[in-house]
Amino acid sequence: MENTGTNLGKGSVKRLTVVSLLVIVSGALAILILVVLLNQGIRTEQRNECLNSLQQIDSALMATALERGYRNGDSIPTAQLVESLKDNKIPSCPSGGSYVIPPVGGHPTCTFHGDLLAREGKLAASRSSIVQTGAVSNK
Ligand SMILES: [Zn+2]
């Protein structure tokens, strides 16, 4: 009687160990998948925020060029550019990149995300007309 009881007990312990191993492994996998998905979500969010900032800078570039009569290839001083930006400052990339602001006619890029505006097809359609009408001169 004692032997039988002990044997059954050992079998149960082994089965229990296998089951708990499975539970631990699948739990770890689930956590891993969650972390990866969360990371992707954060990255997508930061990328969208960066794209939004690049669009704001691009619009500010064109607006300043038009208002002050800058022509294609002219560099716009940051002090003038920020007047058309929210909080009068150049936004920052949430992923730590810096924005490269080109002369009039170009579009800004991010050192972390690259040329998001061109890649996403978000270059303003009015770009060419603004650059061409930049002849109004009151720099
Ligand atoms: Zn960026």
Rounded to the nearest whole angstrom, what is the distance from the C-alpha of residue 114 to the centroid of ligand 1? 7
Instruction: Return the amino acid letter for 35.
Output: V
pTM of the entire predicted model: 0.73
pLDDT at 15: 82
pLDDT at 135: 44
Query: From CA 40, how far away is CA 66, in angstroms rounded?
Result: 39
Q: How many Cβ atoms sit within 10 Å of the Cβ of residue 123?
A: 14
Burial of 96 (0-12, 13-18, 19+ CB in 10 A): exposed
Whether the CA torsion 91, 96, 37, 114 is positive or negative: it is positive
The enclosing H or E element of 66 equals: helix 2-68
Rounded to the nearest whole angstrom, what is the distance from the C-alpha of residue 39 to the centroid of ligand 1? 16
pLDDT at 125: 61
Rounded to the nearest whole angstrom, what is the distance from the C-alpha of residue 128 to the centroid of ligand 1? 25
